[in-house]
Amino acid sequence: MADAEVLLSLRKIVKGFGSQKVLSEFSLDIFDGEFFTILGPSGCGKTTVLRLIAGFEQADSGQILLDDADIAAVAAEHRPVNTVFQSYALFPHMSVAENVGFGLRMAAVTKAEIKQRVAEALAVVKLSGFESRKPHQLSGGQKQRVAIARAIVMKPKVLLLDESLSALDHKLRQQMQMELKQIQRKLGITFVYVTHDQEEALSMSDRVLVMNHGQPQQIGSPREIYEAPRNMFVADFIGEINVFDGVVEAENDELSYTVNIGGVKKVAGAEFRLEVGDEVHVLLRPEDLRIEYIEDQPKDEQGFLGKVLERSYTGKTIDTLIALENGNTLRASEFFNEDDPDFDYSINQRVWVSWIDGWEHVIKAGPLE
User: pLDDT tens digits for 2-32?
Assistant: 567 999 999 999 999 988 999 999 999 999 9
Q: Are residues 46 and 146 both part of a single domain? A: yes
358 pLDDT tier (thresholds 50, 70, 90): confident
1 domain residue, yes or no: no
Predicted TM-score (pTM) of the model is: 0.89
Contact 343, 297 (CB under 8 A): no
Residues 224 and 345 placed together within one structural domain of the fold: no
Neighbours of 350 (CB within 10 A): 16
369 within a domain of the structure (yes/no): no
Domain of residue 141: give its range. 6-236
Q: End of a domain among 236, 253, 278? A: 236
State pLDDT tens for residues 73-117.
999 999 999 999 877 789 999 999 999 999 999 988 899 999 999
Domain's final residue, options 190, 216, 236: 236
Task: Evaluate the CA torsion angle 135, 137, 139, 145 in order and state its sign.
Answer: negative
The CATH number for 36's domain is: 3.40.50.300
On whether both 191 and 338 belong to a single domain, the answer is no
In angstroms, the CA 335 to CA 287 distance is: 9
Split into its structural domains, the chain has a count of 2
Q: Could you tell me where the beta strands, DSSP code E, fall in the chain?
A: 6-17, 20-31, 35-39, 61-66, 69-70, 81-84, 158-162, 190-195, 207-212, 215-220, 242-251, 256-261, 264-269, 279-284, 290-293, 304-313, 317-324, 329-335, 350-354, 361-364
Q: Phi first, then psi: what are they for 185, rounded to 5°? A: -65, -40
Tell which phi-psi region holds residue 320, choosing left (phi > 0), alpha (psi between -120 and 50) or beta: beta
One domain, residues 327 and 359: yes
Q: Choose among 217, 268, 219, 227: nearest CA to 246.
A: 268
Q: Which residues contact 153 (CB under 8 A, 6 or more apart)?
A: 100, 101, 103, 104, 117, 118, 120, 121
Whether 113 and 134 share a structural domain: yes
**Do 153 and 26 share a structural domain?**
yes
Do 40 and 163 belong together in one domain?
A: yes
Is residue 82 located within the same domain as residue 132? yes
Residue 61 lies in a domain: yes
Tell me what pLDDT residue 151 has: 92
Measured between alpha carbons, how far is 188 from 80 in angstroms, rounded to an integer?
Answer: 15
Q: How far is CA 359 from the centre of its chain?
A: 22
Q: Do 157 and 282 have their domain in common?
A: no
pLDDT at 270: 87
CATH of the domain at 281: 2.40.50.140
